[in-house]
Structure 1
């Protein structure tokens, strides 16, 4: 069975870029993921179809072979044109083929018709395996190594790069199902879900947080302690700051990875008055704000 057309499964055109394919796959893999659709057989089948389609189209060599008609949607070799399920035509007396004709024609391709008559054999890559992994917001920002439990009871360590996004899929080469007849093992596809954080929001490689500051520090200025994903740091609040003032901490956003530099953390101040004492109340009674 050749399976559904991978372009139709992912809902992309045949001219789609690799980036378009990746985005479509992430969206659908998250939509149909078993963790979000427990006991839903249709969603499970769709999730498998989406993974199979992405496995083929995300590999530029496989995609090119599929587009040329050399392999089908499941990645299996197609029979040469004219030798498919419609039967053989032409050649020989009486308009048919005898076994000698067929052996002469296909001997080099199929190794003759003895034993495995008409079947193509040989090494084939094992099927891919799909897994789900949840990581905390801070682990996604800083990078970490997480462990995935496999159905057979074994575990697989997965390296999470700094800056991984929700719904992103990690491919671990050779960590899927065993190969067939000595072929290479399949890959493990890890769909990552990034859990939200009560303190931070993400904007590309930058992070944002809102931090309360007391009235005295806001008016007179002074140091405050700021929580960041890599630890608490000291930051100076300029005198005369107001609610909504945004301060920047360089390099305290998404951590650097490869050639990409670390992002920044932007802190929005929120002035908290708190309980006013008698002296402050007396001051405010006599204070006339400047126009």
Structure 2
């Protein structure tokens, strides 16, 4: 038994509602479990009942014709029906879905409701833009104003694409359906293809004149200033969604969304690693030899930091809680300080003698031509 609802009832695709009901009564009598000897009678009875329910509902039938059997069934499994076959009270195989049609949910899902002549009240398309902020803004969170160019509904024609006094007529190409459906018989079975009518762009209606402001598009591009709330702890490349700030719908649905990609500028003092920050602290040779208390920058201001005696160049220290805030969570990351010993580019004679004496006290031979600090740098 074919899964296609028309084949299940044995009717053509242009069958009238009366023909469908008549075919259903015959099939229901044939497969009723109380009278049929067919071992699969109960399943077939449910199938013909479902086929009748779909094909005698104007909206559901249009959805079925446009999507085809497989996509229609997939939509049902994704939640197009409330509970599925047999879930409703009183044996209603379609779960008692609210509304005039038991298929209201699935029709709204794919066509956005409407009068059955349009392709549906789908939302407008999402738009994308980028907003640059500095690391301090990402640390504290910030409210930013940004200007974007985006399509908006044409005020002149209220988004219709034609003057109010333009004459209209039913599209002769699709006969007002908004779609053109072709059915071909192939060796693998019947193939159905449905496309939006190009002549009327899916509206089912054509007009004698177009709006001079938007050239019939129903939309114009305007410059708009928006406010974006950037949360503390946001990272480079993350995206904020501004609901209903995207392009308007072409079929009466809600606007799309505006997706704002955040670009965090590099910082001269810090590198970022997730919620942690990294700072490279330049110190002198005596500071790491004898130890010293220094200040290191943080985004909240300078913090005291103790360099222990004998610290090696490249050694890492952790300042807990001095990193970036954790996005939408409590607490902060850490600040990691890497100590880097800086070799002086020039020294006076007194400094040279002191270092020469230091090296000799340790039993090292000094090559004056190379320079002690150069040797020291290469050894670290």
TM-score of the pair, normalised by structure 2:
0.45
| Aligned with residue 147 of structure 2, among 149, 156, 161 | 149
Q: 1:290 to 1:228 in 2, by over 3 A?
A: farther
Q: 1:117 to 1:218 in 2, by over 3 A?
A: closer
* Matching residue of 2:347: 276
Partners of 2:115 and 2:9 lie apart in 1 by 20
CA RMSD across the alignment: 3.7
Q: CA offsets, 1:164-219, max 9 Å, x none?
A: 33322221222222356663332111122233334322222111121111233222
Do the aligned partners of 1:147 and 1:158 also contact (CA within 8 Å) in 2? yes
| Aligned with residue 234 of structure 2, among 142, 164, 168 | 164
Partners of 2:319 and 2:231 lie apart in 1 by 22
Partners of 1:285 and 1:123 lie apart in 2 by 85
The Cα shift of 1:236 comes to 2.0
Secondary structure at the aligned position of 2:15 is classed as coil
| Aligned with residue 264 of structure 1, among 322, 326, 334 | 334
The Cα shift of 1:281 comes to 2.4
| Aligned with residue 123 of structure 2, among 125, 133, 145 | 125
* Matching residue of 1:136: 134
The Cα shift of 1:138 comes to 3.8
Structure 2 gaps of 5+ residues are 21-54, 63-99, 101-113, 150-221, 365-380
- Give the paired residue count: 204
Structure 1 gaps of 5+ residues are 1-80
* Matching residue of 1:224: 294
Partners of 1:106 and 1:163 lie apart in 2 by 52
In the TM superposition, 1:147-226 aligns within 5 A as 147-151=145-149, 152-179=222-249, 183-226=253-296
Partners of 2:12 and 2:317 lie apart in 1 by 89
* Matching residue of 2:15: 97
Partners of 1:266 and 1:93 lie apart in 2 by 75
TM-score of the pair, normalised by structure 1:
0.56
Secondary structure at the aligned position of 2:289 is classed as helix
Q: 1:284 to 1:157 in 2, by over 3 A?
A: same
The Cα shift of 1:226 comes to 1.4
Do the aligned partners of 2:135 and 2:267 also contact (CA within 8 Å) in 1? yes
Do the aligned partners of 2:118 and 2:251 also contact (CA within 8 Å) in 1? no
The Cα shift of 1:251 comes to 1.6
Partners of 1:175 and 1:141 lie apart in 2 by 26
Partners of 2:352 and 2:297 lie apart in 1 by 32
Query: Does residue 362 of structure 2 align to residue 289 of structure 1?
Result: yes
The Cα shift of 1:265 comes to 0.9
The Cα shift of 1:134 comes to 2.0
Do the aligned partners of 1:221 and 1:239 also contact (CA within 8 Å) in 2? yes
* Matching residue of 1:241: 311
Partners of 1:96 and 1:199 lie apart in 2 by 73
Secondary structure at the aligned position of 1:134 is classed as strand
Partners of 2:267 and 2:287 lie apart in 1 by 27
Do the aligned partners of 1:142 and 1:229 also contact (CA within 8 Å) in 2? no
Q: 1:106 to 1:236 in 2, by over 3 A?
A: same
Q: CA offsets, 1:238-281, max 9 Å, x none?
A: 22223112222222211243324211111111122434344432
Largest Rg, 1 or 2: 2
Q: CA offsets, 1:148-173, max 9 Å, x none?
A: 21212221222223333332222122
Partners of 1:185 and 1:95 lie apart in 2 by 36
Q: 1:208 to 1:290 in 2, by over 3 A?
A: farther
